Structure 1
């Protein structure tokens, strides 16, 4: 390693110094490289092992690496879903003191996948629509904070399963710009048009390769992001007028925004001169209403839809076993200890990498509901869990496993266009506690249909 090497990072992993920075990225030894699929990119990218995890290393210029690193950190500070920037490494030289490209290092977002990895053979229209809807939500969140992306596409986004839907995460911030005063309508429309054109092109590319269902229309799907974006933007930022006798509509608007997963920072309420008409203008803060409530009550950090689903189950438990001397936090702790955690401990160790815990719990509730419908009875949770493990979970493709040493897979701030990305589930204390699904029967029979 050259003595002139310069590492810029909030916290530096000492093992970072042991990587062969004196070699061009395309000449790194096999023992340093993580065997993960990667796609076409404007820059050379390699995956490497680092302290039991996997990092993505992108060769680029000093200026672009530093700019993107700073932008990703700013987006993280604003609670925008994006990849985690680890370091910028500059002043690289080879053994002959010849300069090498600077690199940006990022960490993996666990259980996230590029869009091409979310379907096995052919992309169905409903899956494509859910991906586009998730991207529309991400774009709205970015525009609310004044971020112009400039390169919106499925390829520059990673997706995590979120209770039957998908949550989108920004991967490439290379072309992005934050505007403190917010975006103009023209800037928003420009980003939206970039998204529409890029998505249409990506889906046409899949269509040409025979990787989409016959009924999938790339133009219709790509137009869908425009409709989804405008509908959500109007709901979040549009003003509303009504009679003073309909003041209940203020609470209704707040509840509607909460259901979309957004909190309100302030609500501007004005009446006309006659005092008969009320006009409201919400100022929303970032998404995560249900995430924040679940995190506050249980400490579980999940996706927004997953949080909504788990909260529904928690509320059902509370309705059945709520006590006047128990507050919401106490009941949430009881639900966590008697319901959620026993389910997670019952998952066999070799299946823990299939899905993240919140998604497992959501799918279990779905499976139990379908079993109850088919058998016209209230199927006990333990019975549903055994069936779910053996009939569904065991046959899923791992979404948290890679070939090689135990790793935490990373994502990279570049265009990703190839197969599944996955990482091995990290060990935790619950891995050592093999809970038998049948033991759940000992808990109170609070179980309700979902």
Structure 2
């Protein structure tokens, strides 16, 4: 069989032809390779330079190579975090004319690291918890798309930190299966494999002295199950909110926050029966909300204030007709964010008389008003709106606040607010 290169981009075959396909992958000369850290794999894997790109090259049998190539392309079409499949090379022959295994080529995920490289510095438990959360998010998203991984593990995942956000990416789809919908049994099987694999990998790290002494490998393996189940319940529970009940949407966001996740994307579908809301979660690092709010709006706030304002901004953007996530023809988030500052944030803050603000800065005022609206809406069982919340806050809450009100802990309930559920 002649050498064949099946590629997603017509420009790739010409570049890939320069690589030494007549040699087994483990014999490739250093001049073609890029010294990047590699994870554990049952196959030979190397990083190589192909033109201006760095690619991961994995050697395996022809049929699984073609199958994994198609599965990775399917995941890309579904918007699932996974490595990009670039090409499959088949029909390879050695210098003596003997057949060589096929090769799957994926794009190197910039800024990512295999878990063993990340644990070389004895990672802190708090960071490990965030990585487990990121893996739980990935597994939930795969299952929502109907993809049964069949071998979820730290070894088959790459982790990337981007502007404070932790994300997990599927690397190995060889054992995966794509279905229209997964049964509870298929999901439970995947989750049990993840628990066993992760505990085993952490035990291996413990034996090598690379695991923080306070980390229990068995407990961490079990933790992903709890995180998965909590996130799955919150994301798959279908809710249709009647018009004027937007505080229900905020309730869902708060529950995701309580689980340790934030809303990366929110979509609201309008219908005659009400508004159906879809959330996409993410895992963030400390200070992420401050940086994101500053980038989008120019507002420099405390972290809890920024989280609260970003949730309000996201909810507001989702209701705008010119906002469609992923559509390049619609208004960019930065444009909408500045419109929110001009049309919502500033007018609301200015509605509070300066003489009653005390030591509170504009971000804290707006934060407190959002909290007050939330509690009033919960009590009234419908969204009372910002104008009503401002009027009640100015009349009934602000006069009783000390002049050092700005010293309250951001995120604390405003005085006089009713208890939440």
Fold equivalence (TM over 0.5): yes
CA shift for structure 1 position 125: 1.7
2:143 and 2:268 map into 1 onto residues whose CA distance is 16
**TM-score of the aligned structures, taking structure 2 as reference length:** 0.64
Q: Which residue of 2 aligns with 1:252?
A: 250
List alignment gaps of at least 5 residues for structure 2: 302-321, 324-330, 339-360, 362-409, 411-421
Q: Which residue of 1 aligns with 2:44?
A: 44
Q: Which residue of 2 aligns with 1:347?
A: none
Cα gap change, 1:315 to 1:84, in 2 (>3 Å): closer
Q: SS of the residue aligned with 2:63? A: helix
1:151 and 1:216 map into 2 onto residues whose CA distance is 23
CA shift for structure 1 position 187: 1.0
**Deviation digits for residues 65-88 of structure 1 (CA, Å, limit 9, x no counterpart):** 111011111101111111111110
1:196 and 1:87 map into 2 onto residues whose CA distance is 32
Q: Which residue of 1 aligns with 2:168?
A: 168
Q: Which residue of 1 aligns with 2:32?
A: 32
**Deviation digits for residues 136-166 of structure 1 (CA, Å, limit 9, x no counterpart):** 0111111111111111111111111144452
State the number of aligned residues.
306
- Look at both structures and tell me which one has the larger radius of gyration over its CA atoms: 2
CA shift for structure 1 position 63: 0.6
Q: SS of the residue aligned with 1:192? A: helix
**Of the candidates 331, 334, 340, which is equivalent to residue 332 of structure 1?**
334
Cα gap change, 1:62 to 1:264, in 2 (>3 Å): same
2:246 and 2:336 map into 1 onto residues whose CA distance is 35
2:279 and 2:139 map into 1 onto residues whose CA distance is 14
1:286 and 1:262 map into 2 onto residues whose CA distance is 5
Cα gap change, 1:52 to 1:23, in 2 (>3 Å): same
1:331 and 1:35 map into 2 onto residues whose CA distance is 38
Cα gap change, 1:246 to 1:148, in 2 (>3 Å): same
Assess if the C-alpha contact under 8 Å between 1:82 and 1:170 holds in 2.
Answer: yes
1:225 and 1:9 map into 2 onto residues whose CA distance is 36
Q: Which residue of 2 aligns with 1:110?
A: 110
Q: SS of the residue aligned with 1:214? A: coil
Alignment of 1:117-266 (within 5 A): 117-180=117-180, 182-239=181-238, 247-253=245-251, 255-256=253-254, 259-264=262-267, 266=269
CA shift for structure 1 position 261: 2.3
Cα gap change, 1:309 to 1:51, in 2 (>3 Å): farther
**Deviation digits for residues 225-263 of structure 1 (CA, Å, limit 9, x no counterpart):** 111111111111125699x99945533356557942243
Alignment of 1:91-102 (within 5 A): 91-102=91-102
CA shift for structure 1 position 28: 1.8
CA shift for structure 1 position 219: 1.3
Cα gap change, 1:161 to 1:23, in 2 (>3 Å): same
**Deviation digits for residues 404-438 of structure 1 (CA, Å, limit 9, x no counterpart):** xxxxxxxxxxxxxxxxxxxxxxxxxxxxxxxxxxx
Assess if the C-alpha contact under 8 Å between 1:4 and 1:91 holds in 2.
Answer: yes
1:284 maps onto 2:265 in alignment: no
Assess if the C-alpha contact under 8 Å between 1:196 and 1:222 holds in 2.
Answer: yes
Assess if the C-alpha contact under 8 Å between 2:293 and 2:300 holds in 1.
Answer: no
2:75 and 2:243 map into 1 onto residues whose CA distance is 42
**TM-score of the aligned structures, taking structure 1 as reference length:** 0.60
List alignment gaps of at least 5 residues for structure 1: 271-279, 291-302, 321-326, 337-377, 379-448
2:81 and 2:333 map into 1 onto residues whose CA distance is 30
Between 1 and 2, higher relative CO (CA 8 Å, sep ≥ 6) is seen in 1
Cα gap change, 1:304 to 1:4, in 2 (>3 Å): farther
Q: What do you get for the CA RMSD once the two structures are aligned?
A: 3.8
Cα gap change, 1:103 to 1:33, in 2 (>3 Å): same
1:58 maps onto 2:58 in alignment: yes
Cα gap change, 1:254 to 1:168, in 2 (>3 Å): same
1:117 and 1:156 map into 2 onto residues whose CA distance is 14
1:56 and 1:81 map into 2 onto residues whose CA distance is 16
Alignment of 1:268-283 (within 5 A): none
Cα gap change, 1:173 to 1:331, in 2 (>3 Å): closer
Q: SS of the residue aligned with 1:153? A: coil
1:164 and 1:48 map into 2 onto residues whose CA distance is 29
Cα gap change, 1:203 to 1:247, in 2 (>3 Å): same
Assess if the C-alpha contact under 8 Å between 1:140 and 1:232 holds in 2.
Answer: yes
Q: Which residue of 1 aligns with 2:294?
A: 313
